Amino acid sequence: EPEVTQTPSHQVTQMGQEVILRCVPISNHLYFYWYRQILGQKVEFLVSFYNNEISEKSEIFDDQFSVERPDGSNFTLKIRSTKLEDSAMYFCASERANEKLFFGSGTQLSVL
Amino acid sequence: GESVGLHLPTLSVQEGDNSIINCAYSNSASDYFIWYKQESGKGPQFIIDIRSNMDKRQGQRVTVLLNKTVKHLSLQIAATQPGDSAVYFCAESHSGYSTLTFGKGTMLLVSP
């Protein structure tokens, strides 16, 4: 079965540093998402992306966050200046159109 | 605010038993519900979904029941196996297949 791939699987960074989390969605999918999960808590929506623009974002997705689809295959999440509370597992997800959502295995971000 | 929540944080069953995981939601506008399974170190994996115009849907060994009157969702797993051990999340959407709101999760532990 096709899958969403995310790199790196673990990312450790210092507070205030910029990080870029990378995702390769499933090739014929059109809708892309980032979710995050703080340890022991529920999965939270960050942002959705369609047709090269953000279609929806949550309160978590503030000015420190940005997303980009620089080419036909990658979908990235950038955190400009990381904070301790950004430590979480970040999941990329994609769907074709009105079909089920596929999640990647996640990137564990640790901000020190 | 609107939320989706689970009644039981941990459910322990014996192999071969039937398992029932429950979920309450509060958003009356929700029209699409999904159950996800999350194994350790992995992203959420789609199990089964149901739209609000249905009250029951069956898959392979799994059944989802929706009671819109009391805003309750359940996942039934027949003949539970050790491989079913994971955290199970319910999620809801009120705009079709886009942004999902996840519940907190229930840990299912299956003993051989």
| Cα A35 from Cα A78, distance rounded (Å) | 13
Q: What is the rounded distance in angstroms from the CA atom of residue A17 to the CA atom of residue A52?
A: 26
B41 min Cα distance to partner chain A (Å): 7
How far apart, in Å, do the first and last CA atoms of chain A sit? 36
- Contact check, Cβ <8 Å, B44/A103: yes
- Measure CB to CB from residue A99 to each of B44, B97, B105 and give the nearest one: B97
Q: DSSP readout, chain A?
A: ----EEE-SEEEE-TT--EEEEEE--TT--EEEEEEE-TTS-EEEEEEEETTEEEEE-TT--TTEEEE--SSS-EEEEESS--GGG-EEEEEEEESSSS--EE---EEEEE-
- Mean pLDDT, rounded, for A92-112: 91
Which residues of chain A have a CB within 8 Å of the CB of B97? Answer: 31, 95, 98-101
CA distance B96 to A20: 29
pLDDT at position A2 is 82
Position B4 scores a pLDDT of 57
pLDDT by residue, tens only, chain B of 112 residues:
344 554 448 999 999 999 999 999 888 889 999 999 999 888 899 999 999 999 999 999 999 999 999 999 999 999 999 999 999 999 998 865 568 899 888 999 999 8
CB contact under 8 A, B43 and A99: no
Measured CA distances, A101 to A7, A21, A44, B35, B86 (Å): 19, 19, 14, 11, 19
Between A97 and B19, residue with greater pLDDT: B19
* The pLDDT value given to residue B104: 82
Give the residue from B6, B45, B102 with the most A CB atoms within 10 Å of its CB, the best one to mutate: B102
pLDDT for B95 equals 67
Average pLDDT rounded to a whole number, residues A56-70: 94
- A100, B49 contact by CB (below 8 A): yes
Q: Quick check: A71 pLDDT over 90?
A: no
- Give residue-wise pLDDT tens across range A35-56: 999 987 889 999 999 999 999 9
Chain A hits for B96, CB-CB cut-off 8 Å, are 98
pLDDT band at A5 (very low <50, low <70, confident <90, very high): very high
Q: Could you say which of B89, B100, B103 has the minimum Cβ distance to residue A101? A: B100
**pLDDT category, A94, cuts 50, 70, 90?**
very high
**Side-chain half-sphere of A47: how many Cα atoms within 13 Å?**
20
Closest residue in chain A to residue B37, using alpha carbons only: A103
Determine the pLDDT at residue B1. Answer: 38
